[in-house]
Structure 1
Amino acid sequence: MQSVSIQNADMAWHIAATIQFPPNFDEAKTWPTIVSVHPFGSCKEQTAGNVYGKALAEQGFVVIAYDASFQGASGGAPRWIEDPTQRVEDVSRVIDYAVTLPYVDADRIGVIGVCGGGGYAINATLTEKRIKAAVSITGVNIGRLFREGFSEYNPLGALEAMAAQRTAEARGGELQVNELLPASPDAAAAAGLTERDVSEATDYYKTPRGQSEGGATRMLFSHAQKTLAWDAFAFAETLLTQPVMVVVGQKVGAFGAYRDGMEIYGRATASVDRQLVSLQDWSHYDLYDKPEPVALALEKLVPFFKTHLLDTAAA
C-alpha cells in the first residue's frame, strides 16, 4: 500500500488517498484500476479501503481509496462539509490523478462505493465516462435521505435553520458541527435509539469494530443546504449507460439502502449490463465488514469487475 497526496492543478486543497496493489504487481505493466468511495461520515481506512479495497487489490486490481474533501486526512476548510456535488467531483479528480500514473490503464477504470459512497459512485458514473463499470454496496441516495429522515421529514424547516445558522457563522458565531451518531452502543440504548440502522451504525463507527480517527461521523450543519436539493439518480434512465451492479441487504433499516438500491436498479435501463445482488439475511451495516455477507457480495462483484475491466494481458 502507498499513501499519496493528490493535488491537481485546479484544486485549492489536497486529497489524501491510499493505493493498494495486486500481489503480483509489476509497475512496467498497465492495470485495471478501481476508485473506492467511502460512506457518509466515514474515511478511506474503513470499509471502502480496508474491506472492499483490500479484497479487490488481492483479485488483480489497483485500488485507490481516498478521503472526501473537507473530511479525514484530506484538505479543505471549514471541516466536515458534506457536499454531494463536491463528493462527486472528488471522484473525477481522483481519476484525473490516476490517469497520470504509468501503471494505470485509463481505459479500464471502475468505481465502487459503500452507503452514501454508493450513491456518489452511481452519480459520478452518469457523467464521468472514464468510468467503465460501477458497483454500489448498500448505496444510499443522500439527497433523498436528507429530505426525509435526516430533516425529520421537514426539508423546508431544515433549510431555514441552515440559513439562519450560516448567517450566524458568517457574523462570527460558533460553527454548528452535528454528531451523526450516539457516542456508544450503550448511549444509543439508553436514549432508546434501537432502530436497526442507527444501532448498527453506532456499533460499527463507535466501537473498535470499525472506529477510525478519520471517520468522524460529523457534519457541518450550515453547509448542508445543497444536499436537500440533490438527487443521486437524476437522469439515470438516459445517462447511466455503463455496466452497473447494485448490492443490497434485505434486512431493511431507516437509512433506506434497500429502497434506493431497488430504485436505481429499476431505473438503470440504459445500462449495457445491470445486475442486482439482493442478500436475504443481511442488513446495511452487515455489508460493511461482516465476513459472510461481504464474501457473498465479493462473489458477485469480483467477476463483474473482471468481466468489464480485466483482461489476461494485465494479470
Structure 2
Amino acid sequence: MKSVHIQNPDMTWHIAANILFPPGFDEAQKYPTIVSVHPFGSCKEQTSGKVYGKALAEQGFVIIVYDASFQGESGGSPRWIEDPTQRVEDVSRVIDYAVTLPYVDEHRIGVLGVCGGGGYAINATLTEKRIKAVVSITGVNIGRLFREGFSNYDPLGALDAMAAQRTAEARGGELQVNELLPASPEVARENKLTERDVFEATDYYKTPRGQKPGGATRMLFSHAQKTLAWDAFAFAETLLTQPVMVVVGQKVGAFGAYRDGMEIHGRATASKDRQLVELEDCSHYDLYDKTEPVGMALEKLVPFFRKHLNGPVAARQAEAAE
C-alpha cells in the first residue's frame, strides 16, 4: 500500500488516498484500476478500503481508495461537509490522478461505491466516461434519503432551519456539526433506536468492529442544503451507458438501499450490461464487512470487473491471482 496526497490544479486542498497493489505488482506493467468510494460518514480505512479494496487488489486490480473532500484525512474547510456535487467531482479528480500513473491503464478504469458511495459512483458514471464499469454495493441515493428520513420527511422545514443556521454562522455563530448516530449500541437500545439500519450502523461505526478516526459520522448542518435537491439517478435512462452491477441485501432497512437498488437497476436501460444481485438474508451493514455476505458479493463483482476491465494484461494477472 502507498499513501498519497492528490492535489489538482483547481483545488486549494488535497485528497488523501491509499493505493493498494495486487500480488506481484510490477510498475512496468499496465493494470486495470478501480476507484473505491466510501459511504456517507465513513473513511477510506473502513469498508471501501479494508474490505472491498483489499479483496479486489488481491484479485489483480490496482485500487485507489480515498477520503472525500472535507472529510477524513483529506483537506478542505470547514470540516464535515457532505456535498454530493463535490463527492462526485472527487471521483473525477481521483481519476485525473490515476491516469498520470504509469501502471494505470487509462482504458480500464472502474469504480465501486458502498452505501452513499454507491450512489455517488453511479452518478459519476453518468458523465465520467473514463469509467468503464461501475458496481454499487448496497448503494443509497443520498438526496432521496435527505428528503425523507434524514429531514424527518419535512425537507422544506429542514431547508429553512439550514438557512437560519447558515446565517447565524456567517455572523460569527458556532458551527452546528450534527452527530448522525447514537454513541454506542447500548445508547441506541436505551433510546429505543433499534430500527435495523440505524442500530446496525451504530454497531459498525461506534464499536471496534468498524470504528476509525476518520469515520466520524458527522455532518455540517448548514452546508447540506443542496443535498435535498440532488438525485443520484437523474438522467440514468439516457446517460448510464456503461456496465453496471447493483448489489443489495433483501433485509430491508430505513436507509432504503434495497429500493434505491431496484430503482437504478430498472432505470439503467441504456447500460451495455446491467446486473442486479439480490442477497437473501443479508442486511445493508452485513455487506460492509460480514464474511459470508461480502464473499457472495465478491463472487459476482470480481468476474464482472474482470469482464469489463479486461485485456491481455488483465487476463494474465487474473490467471496468476487464481
TM-score by length of 1: 1.00
Task: Give the deviation of 1:311 after TM superposition.
Answer: 2.4
Tell whether 2:31 aligns with 1:31. Answer: yes
Which AA in structure 2 matches 1:61? F
1:13-44 deviation digits (Å, cap 9, x = unpaired): 00000000000211001100000000000000
Aligned to 1:187: 187
Question: Secondary structure, in 3 states, of the residue corresponding to 1:153?
Answer: coil
Aligned equivalents of 2:158, 2:103: Cα separation in 1? 46
The answer as to 2:266 corresponding to 1:266 is: yes
> 1:216: which partner in 2?
216
Q: Which amino acid aligns with 2:224?
A: A
> 2: distance between equivalents of 1:311 and 1:235?
30
The answer to whether residue 155 in structure 2 is matched with residue 155 in structure 1 is yes
Deviation beyond 6 Å, 4+ runs, structure 1: none
Whether 1:105 aligns to 2:105 is yes
- 1:151-199 CA-to-partner distances (Å, cap 9, x unmatched) read 0000000000000000000000000000000000000000000100000
Alpha-carbon separation, structure 1, partners of 2:188 and 2:131: 39
State the number of aligned residues. 315
Q: 1:252-292 deviations in whole A, cap 9, x for unaligned?
A: 00000000000000000000000000001100000000000
Q: How far apart in 1 are the matches of 2:200 and 2:312?
A: 40
Listed one character per residue, the Cα deviations across residues 214-235 of structure 1 (whole Å, up to 9, x for unaligned) are 0000000000000000000000
Q: Distance in 1 between matches of 2:313 and 2:202?
A: 44
Question: Residues of 2 paired with 1:189 and 1:108: CA distance?
Answer: 46
**TM-aligned CA deviation for residue 140 of structure 1:** 0.1
Distance, in Å, in 2 between the alignment partners of 1:34 and 1:144 is 26
Name the aligned partner's letter for residue 241 of structure 2. Answer: T
In structure 2, stretches of 5+ residues that fail to align are 318-322
Report 1:1-315 matches (<5 A): 1-314=1-314, 315=317
Read off the aligned partner of 2:140 and give its amino acid letter. Answer: V
**Unpaired segments ≥5 residues, structure 1:** none
The equivalent residue for 2:320 is none
Say which SS state the counterpart of residue 313 (structure 1) adopts: helix
For the aligned residue pairs, the C-alpha RMSD in angstroms reads: 0.5
